[in-house]
Amino acid sequence: MSATFPEVATEDFVRTAFERCPTGLIVVDESGKIAVLNREVERQFGYARDELLGQPVEVLVPENLAAGHAKLRAQYATIPTSRRMGAGRELLGRHKDGRQIPVEIGLSSFSTQEGAFVLATIVDVRERRHRENRLNRPHKLEALGSLAGGIAHDFNNILLGIVGYTELARTTVSDTPSAVADLDLVLDTARRGRDLVNRILLFTRTTDPVRVRTDFALSVREAVQLLRASFPSNIEIRESYDPSSPHVMGDGSELYQIAMNLATNAAHAMQSRGGVLEIRLEPVWVDRLFIADHPGMREGLHVHLSVSDTGVGIHPDAIGHIYEPFFTTKPGGEGTGLGLAVVDRIVQSLRGTIEVRSRVDKGTRFDVYLPSVSVDASQAQDERGSHFARGNILLVDDEGSLARLGQRLLESSGFEVTAHTSSLHALESFRMNPQHFDLLITDNTMPHMTGLELVEQILAIRPSTPVLMVSGVGETMPIEALKMRGVTRLLAKPYESEELEAAVKEILGISS
């Protein structure tokens, strides 16, 4: 028969159980000083036991909350009860290094011959909150993605109008350099707006892009080459690319975004005092030991991108938030907080992983690991449709100003354009003379009949008709799915006149 509790509850037994309890335990005397604590409290708050014994319990409370805590403790002493604190709301403790840590606290009072005491149980909830945030993150991104997709179409239409009509105005004042310079600033501002919308859509994308066998090194070199001219002279760039680095299955623009954002952040961390930006690309074999710390990865050959700087570093309190959308440590107006969110989203979708190591005033290093693809992997190829000698275009956009803009831009390049603001009217125009039109250019989001529905009707009449779809939310649409429905090419709004002309000429087989 097993021993009863009184038989085993010796002083040594109770002391051992108290010490090895996985929950932090603190006993506070009537004056509010720490009388007893266990080793879990040492682990939670970073203090040695001797540093806490005899100290006011407020040493474990953030400085801005310490005075209020002392008042609450005094009130509790007048009417002591057993209660749990922290459930459903956040309580904060203070680590020895000054960091604030979320905790849940339970209180229970008792009296002995030595006096009245309060036993506090302390649970560090950092890891639990981290897991909850990871679980909630996909839902937050999905909701944000729906919001972003909803506004992107209208916002890109506005930007398209600004870009297009500014380009037209620029040609009319070409003999006035000051006016041209002012209009160029308008174009630059509109382009930044376009890039911001595209970055939002990129990390909120819920569909997989089309990915082919790609040399990651080309995307990294391109990003560094573009950024080099904008970096201050006090930043030294060191590059190392191992020629044996494997290719990856990815989209070139996504891989470019990874390198661009990491390098930009590194340069920003060194802008005040300069330093060294080091970029390395090399092959690495991911083994089972590595996978144990990075669930979801597969054993095998990977490409490893390392981007390190000697800048200001990232504070430990911020490390856990750097991949959150719109979180930024940069001063107001200097960052959107989307760069690392974009990188994290892309890396995860490519079945890779990203790590960060940083020390304040010492620098930061990001390591990206992406799985390789064999050399003989199949590579998707775009197929061109029939070439056309003429250039009669049917253009459809439900916004009149954009329909007129597209017509003017294309007519200035020598094309004949029939523009409609109604997809139903455009269909009727095509039905009356289907052989007249060499190309259909259509928006997708339109009332009564969407662009894809119009494409379906047009191709039912003449299956060989090439289609250029322009869309403010094009980045969230899988191109292969569009091609299966007859779309030859996708052009995202807001485009510039040269982009539109180049796309049309490519589809029609017209050499520049």
Do 169 and 283 share a domain, yes or no? no
Encode pLDDT of 448-505 as tens digits.
888 899 999 999 999 989 999 987 654 455 677 788 888 998 888 888 888 899 899 8
In a domain, 387, yes or no: no
pLDDT of residue 380: 31
SS (H, E, C) 389-402: CCCEEEEECCCHHH
The encoded tokens of residue 42 equal 């040492």
pLDDT of residue 475: 46
Encode pLDDT of 367-414 as tens digits.
999 999 854 333 333 333 333 335 799 999 988 888 989 999 998 888
What is the end-to-end Cα distance of the chain in Å, rounded? Answer: 95
In a domain, 205, yes or no: no
Do 328 and 225 share a domain, yes or no? yes
> Which CATH number covers residue 285?
3.30.565.10
Residue where a domain terminates, one of 67, 89, 124: 124
Beta bridge partner(s), residue 119: 27, 108
pLDDT of residue 365: 96
pTM score = 0.42
Higher-scoring residue by pLDDT: 179, 380: 179
Encode pLDDT of 282-300 as tens digits.
999 888 888 888 877 888 8
pLDDT band for position 209 (50/70/90)? low
Encode pLDDT of 30-50 as tens digits.
888 999 999 999 999 999 999
- C-beta separation of 14 from 7 below 8 A: no
Do 336 and 408 share a domain, yes or no? no
In a domain, 411, yes or no: yes
Residue where a domain terminates, one of 82, 100, 124: 124
Instruction: Label the pairing between strands 392-396 and 439-443.
Output: parallel
Torsion over CA: 35, 40, 43, 45 (sign):
negative
Do 98 and 186 share a domain, yes or no? no
> Which CATH number covers residue 29?
3.30.450.20
pLDDT reading at 27 higher than 80: yes
Distance CA 112, CA 120 (A): 16
Do 227 and 248 share a domain, yes or no? yes
Encode pLDDT of 307-355 as tens digits.
999 999 988 888 877 887 666 665 544 555 567 888 888 898 888 999 9
Which range has the worst mean pLDDT, 80-89, 97-106, 429-438?
Answer: 80-89
In a domain, 169, yes or no: yes
Do 424 and 346 share a domain, yes or no? no
Do 405 and 427 share a domain, yes or no? yes
Q: Give percent of the chain with pLDDT exceeding 70.
A: 79
pLDDT of residue 42: 93
Q: Which residue has the tokens 């379906």?
A: 456
Q: What is the DSSP string of 26-86?
A: EEEETTSBEEEE-HHHHHHH---HHHHTTSBGGGGS-HHHHHHHHHHHHHHHHS---EEES
Biggest distance spanned by C-alpha atoms of the chain: 104
pLDDT band for position 441 (50/70/90)? very high
Encode pLDDT of 296-317 as tens digits.
788 888 999 999 999 999 888 8
Q: What's the whole-number mean pLDDT along residues 53-57?
A: 92
Domain count, the chain: 4
pLDDT reading at 191 higher than 60: yes
Do 337 and 217 share a domain, yes or no? yes
Do 222 and 118 share a domain, yes or no? no
In which domain, by residue range, is 81 found? Answer: 5-124
Do 314 and 364 share a domain, yes or no? yes
> Under DSSP, is residue 166 helix (H, G, I), strand (E, B) or coil?
helix
